[in-house]
Structure 1
Amino acid sequence: MYITNAQEFQLTDKYDVTNQRSSGQQEEDIWLVDVIVTNNPESHVATLSISDFGLLDEIRISVLSNPDLEDINEILKVTVEYNACCSSTEEYYYLVSNDNDFISLPGIKNEYAYEPITDIHYIFPNQLFGKEGTILRAALQYTETATIKEIKVLRSIAWNDDDFDTEDAITAIN
């Protein structure tokens, strides 16, 4: 069953990135940043590793309210965008429970050599193409006018108020 009240992620200042620091790896340009709740800096969401700090373009934080998942208040998405000869993004998703616990989903990395043709995202029940009680990880294929042409579900995660196993990021390369 597909839900028709599609929602999009909205930029927010409810969360912030702070405490930028070197990872201590002398040879590599790796930096660490903390994602926190803005009005409660002690509320630590995650520590992200920024692999090519010199190529970092921006970090965007957005939320999806009322994702229609049991005991989940919102979805927090942190997008780390890099620009070099080609651009890439790393997306980190956190389910925010009604008790303000943060449950991490495996990260997703998208690389764009030219115009984005295909990229990978999570789709939640209250979004376009969402499925009731399920988190979908899907490859979205676009037309030249940036409308969605096709969706290929890569993984379907039934949500039952559970934790997820961590795994390596899934990468889409165009």
Structure 2
Amino acid sequence: MKNLILFAFILGVCVTNAQEFQLTDKYNVTNQRSIGQEEEDTWAIDVVVTNNPEHHLATLNIQDYGLLDEIRISVLSNPGLEDITEILKITIEYNTCCASIEEFYYMVTNDSSFIALLSVKNEYAYEPISDIHYIFPNQPFGKEGTILRAALQYTETYTIKDIKVLRSIAWNDDDFDAEDAITAINY
């Protein structure tokens, strides 16, 4: 009985400490503008801090503005990384013959500066059977002091069947721009 109570307590602590990204209005998309030639339909958007629009965070390119479905901005508070207050995730979703989702991640430091992680792009022809995400220490399957970039595989009921770690990044290694974005394609 004691073991059962201890197991329930540990499980409860893990579940309450595990967090997911929450939509926020703390950051905003502004200054949408066309770049390049008209027939390319490529646009640029700026991401700023809502209550301080002069605090420019990033400029992101929208490859085909006509196919843009949605832009979502969400945060993960207290991600479990030293001197990081939150993780900002910007999701750009395109709707074509197959869905395409591009995610940009930024770590927000204690002094309100931003550290970019490599972007992740997932493409789905049908139902998602696998995709790529970052997993932070305070999330389910997270690892202390480490950022995981992992491919998640799902069952038919959309529960996680398998996780394959693609890259394990020690948080103190801020050299994130050495590679191109990783793309997962589901067909």
TM normalised by structure 2 equals 0.89
Specify every segment of 5 or more residues in structure 1 that has no aligned partner in the other structure, as ranges.
Answer: none
After TM superposition, the runs of 4+ consecutive aligned structure 1 residues lying more than 6 A away are: none
1:84 aligns with 2:132: no
Counterpart CA distance in 2 for 1:26 and 1:57 is 20
Alignment partner of 1:149 is 2:177: no
Instruction: Read off the aligned partner of 2:76 and give its amino acid letter.
Output: L
**What displacement does 1:24 show?**
2.4
Distance 2:185 2:84 in 1: 31
Q: What count of residue pairs does the alignment treat as equivalent?
A: 172
Alignment match, 2:85: 73
Rg larger for: 2
Partners of 2:49 and 2:32 lie apart in 1 by 16
Q: Secondary structure at the match of 1:129?
A: coil
Task: State whether structure 2 residue 59 is matched by structure 1 residue 47.
Answer: yes
Corresponding residue for residue 131 of structure 2: 119
* Larger relative contact order, structure 1 or 2 (CA cutoff 8 Å, min sep 6): 1
Q: Could you tell me which amino acid in structure 2 is paired with residue 49 of structure 1?
A: N
**If each structure's helix is expressed as a fraction of its own residues, which one has the higher value?**
2
Aligned residue type for 1:104: A
Q: How much does 1:162 deviate?
A: 3.2
Equivalent residue, structure 1, for 2:36 = 24
Q: Deviations over 1:11-47 (max 9, x none)?
A: 0000000000011234411100000000000001100
Letter in 2 for 1:105: L
RMSD of aligned Cα (Å): 1.2
1:33 aligns with 2:9: no
Q: Which of these residues, 86, 99, 115, is aligned with residue 111 of structure 2?
A: 99
Identity of paired residues, percent? 80
Give the letter aligned to residue 68 of structure 1. Answer: G
Determine the structure 2 residue equivalent to 1:159.
171
| 1:23-75 superposed Cα distances (whole Å, 9 cap, x missing partner) | 12344111000000000000011000000110000000000000010110000
| Separation of aligned partners in 1, 2:132 and 2:173 | 24
CA distance in 1: counterparts of 2:21 and 2:127, whole angstroms: 22
CA–CA separation in structure 1 for the residues paired with 2:107 and 2:173: 10
